[in-house]
Structure 1
Amino acid sequence: MTDPTQDPRFLQDPYPTYAAMRSRCPVQSVPTGSGGHISYLVTGYAEAREALRDARLSKDTAAFFAGNGSRRRLHPAVAHTMLASDPPKHTRLRRLVTKAFTAGAVTDMRPFIARVTDELLDQWPVGERFDFVASLAVPLPVIVICELLGVPKEDRPDVQRWSGELFAAGKSDVIDAASHSMADYMTTLIAAKRLAPGASLLDRLISERDGDDHLSEEELVSLAVLLLVAGHETTTNFLGNATLALLQHRAELDRLRQNPDDVPAVLDELLRFDSPVSTATFRFTTEAVTLGCTDIPAGVPVLVALGAANRDPERFPSPDLLDLDRDAAAHLSFGHGIHRCVGAPLAKAEVEIALRAVLTRFPGIRLAAPTDQLDWRRTRLVRGLATLPVLV
C-alpha cells in the first residue's frame, strides 16, 4: 500500500487525490513515514468536524511520542505547545492569549496593518515580474506578528527563516534544529524584556508568569514560539492562495476590483476553496474510536485533511467551483472546536486589508507564469506557494 498524497502531482493540486480517497471511504488508513507506521486520514466534512471535537483524539504529542520511543530532538517549547495539549492545560493557556485576538484588539491593529501594507506595495516594481509571496504574503504577517510580540526589526529575518524550516517536510534534523534556534531566541528575548519591559503581548505574558505565576517558564517560551510561528504561517498561505484563486478567476477578481467593499464577505469562500492549512495538527486515539464507518484502534495518529473536508460535495455543492456568493462560513480552514485557531480574526483582517489595497492600487495584476509551473511548499501540513510570479 502506498500513500497517495506522496504523488508528485499532489503538491500542485491535492484535490483530485482527496476526492478519489473520499469516494472510496471518508476515513481510511494510510502509511506514514518509512517505518511501516499507519495513520488514519479523514477526508469527509462530517467526519472531520466530528474528529476535531472528539476528546478521545488527544493532542498530547509528547505523551504519544514518549510511548513510541521517538528519537526526535524537538525542543520542548515546540513539542509541548498549546496546540499539543489537552484540557485542562490547553484551556488555561488559551484563555491567556485569546484576549489579544478579540475583535476590539484586531480593530486597534488595523491602522498598523494598513500602513505596513502600503509601505510594502510602494516597493512593487511596476512593469517587471516579481514574487508576490516574497514581496507581500511573507513580510506583512511577519511584521504584524513580530510587532504584536515585540520582536526587534533586526531579528525578524532569522525568525522568518526558522519558522519556514519548522515545516521542512521529511527533514527531521532541519526541523529539530530550527525548533532549538527559535526556542533559544525566544528565551533570550524574554530575558531582555524582563530587564526592559514594554507593552507588547509578550510583555503581558511575562507579567502573567512573573506576577500570578499562571505560566511556567517553559509554558511562557512555548506560547511565545507558537504565537510567533502560527501568527504568520497561516496568514502567508491564506494571502497567497486567495490571490492565486482570484488571478485564476478573472471575473471574480474584476468583481472585487469594482466593489472592494465586498472583500470581507468573500474571505470565507477563499479560505474554503484552497485552505492554507491542508492537514490539522497531530492527533491520536486514546481509545478505540469509530469515525464515520471506520473503526480506528487506540494509539494511532489521525490526520484531519481540512482542505479535503472543505471540498466535500456533501457539504459544499460544486466544491471545485470558486463561488463568491456561497455561504462558506462553516469551512474548517481554521479548525473546529476547542482548538479552533485563536488568531483567525487577525489573519482575516490582514488578508482583507491586503487584498483591498492590491486591487485598488494595482487593478491590472496578473500571473506571470503558467499555473502548472508554480512552486508549492513541500509539506503536507500547510498548503502554500513558495513563489507566485506576478506582473502589475
Structure 2
Amino acid sequence: MKFHLYVSKRNNKSPNRYLKTKQINLSLSFLRINSPTYTYKCYICRGQYSENMKKYFIFIMLLLIGSISVKAQSNDAPQSHPFSYDRCRIITEGVINDTLQATFCLDTGAFDLSLDSTFVSNHTLNKKKLRRGLFGEHTEKVKEELAKRGLELPTDGGGAGAGEAKMQRAFEHIRCHAGDYTFEEPSYKVYQNLLGSDVLVGLEPEQQLTFEVYYDKKTFRLYSGEPQLSLDKSWMRIKMEKHVVQTTIPLKIKIGKKTISGNFLLDTGSAHTISLTTQTTNEKGLAKLEGIRPWTGIGLSGESKGGVIRSESVQIGKDKLPDIDIHLSYDKSGALSGSDFYIGIIGNKVLEKYDMVVDYINLYLYLRPNSLHNTPVLTYITPTSLQNTCKVTPTSLQKNKEIHPYFITKPLSLY
C-alpha cells in the first residue's frame, strides 16, 4: 500500500499563494515547518500501517523537510553589500525604478527619499513640474489653515546648516532598491546639492527593517524583518526611542566639570563625531568654556558654524570612549539649532568604532567594538569647498596651507 506525502511551499509575504506542491510516496501525518520566508505544510493520505513504519517514515520526512528548509533559508538570507566611506558617509550602489543605477546614501537621521536635482535633470526622472513645500501647490493654503489653529507647517526638508534648504518636491511614484530592501514612495524630495550622492535614503522605524553596518570591513546588510544574526553577549544592547520617523539613543558626555546626558539622534548621514544643538550649548553654558576652536561646515541647509571642544569621555551603553571632539552648534535654524526630542546628534565618526545593528522592529541598537575601536579620532577644519571629506591628513594640510589658509594642522573638527 502506498502512503502519499504532499509538500506545499508557501511564500509568507503572499500568504494566499502556494508556490510549489510535490507528491512523494511517503507520509503519515500533518506537519508544518516555518522558515523566515516560506512555510512548508505536509499532508498524508491515511491508510493501514504499523507503528514502526510510521516512525521510519516520520524520520525520513523530517530529514526531507529539514533539507528543503535549510536550502530555502540559505537562498533567502540577506546578502552583504560593499559601501564607500570616502566622505564619512555610507554610500552604496542602488537601483531606481528597476533600471537606473545610482549612488545611495543610507541615512538613519533622514526620512523619505531625496534625489539630487542634477541627477533628476540628467535622467529626466520627473515628468511633472516640481513643487515647493510638503503639499505642493497647496502648501500655502495648508499653512494658512494651520496658522488659524495656532499650528505650524511640519518641516519638509533641510538638515544641518543655518540657511534655507534648496529643496522642491516631485509628486510622482518612485521605487528605490538598496541592499535587500525596496523603498517605495508616492513622491520624493529634490535637493540642489545632496553632498556626494544621487539619492538620500531615509531609514525609518515604520519601515520595519534591520540595518547592519560593519564599518571596518565597509560592508552592510539591509533587509526586512528582525535581525538575522546571532546577537550574543559580545554585543551591547541599547534601547532606542522612536520619534515618528527618527530614533534616539541615550549618551553621557563629560566635558571638564560638566556632564551632559540626554537623547541623541542616531544619524548615519552625519560625518561628525557628536554634535550638541545650539539649544543645549546655550542651556549648559558650553560656549563659555576655555579651549574651544572654531569650525565651519556644510549641511543640506547651507553653512553651519560653531565650536569644537575635546571631551574627557563619551559613554555609550556600558562603553566609554576617551578624548572625543564634541561639536557645539551656534546655528539659529536647521537641524542643529534645537529639538524637543534630542539634545544632539551622534554621527559616523563615533559609530564607526563598532559593528552596528539597527533593529527597527524591536527598537534596539546593538553595538560591538571592532578593529577601529581603539584608534584615535583625528578631525580637522577644512575650507568650505572641501567640507565633509575624511581624506584630509596632516601631510596634505601642511602642503596646502599656503593655498588654503583655513587649514589648521592639529586635530580640530570633523569637517
TM-score of the superposed pair, with normalisation by structure 2: 0.25
Structure having the higher strand fraction is 2
User: Higher relative contact order by CA 8 Å / sep ≥ 6: 1 or 2?
Assistant: 1
Looking at secondary structure, tell me which structure has more helix per residue: 1
Larger Rg: 2
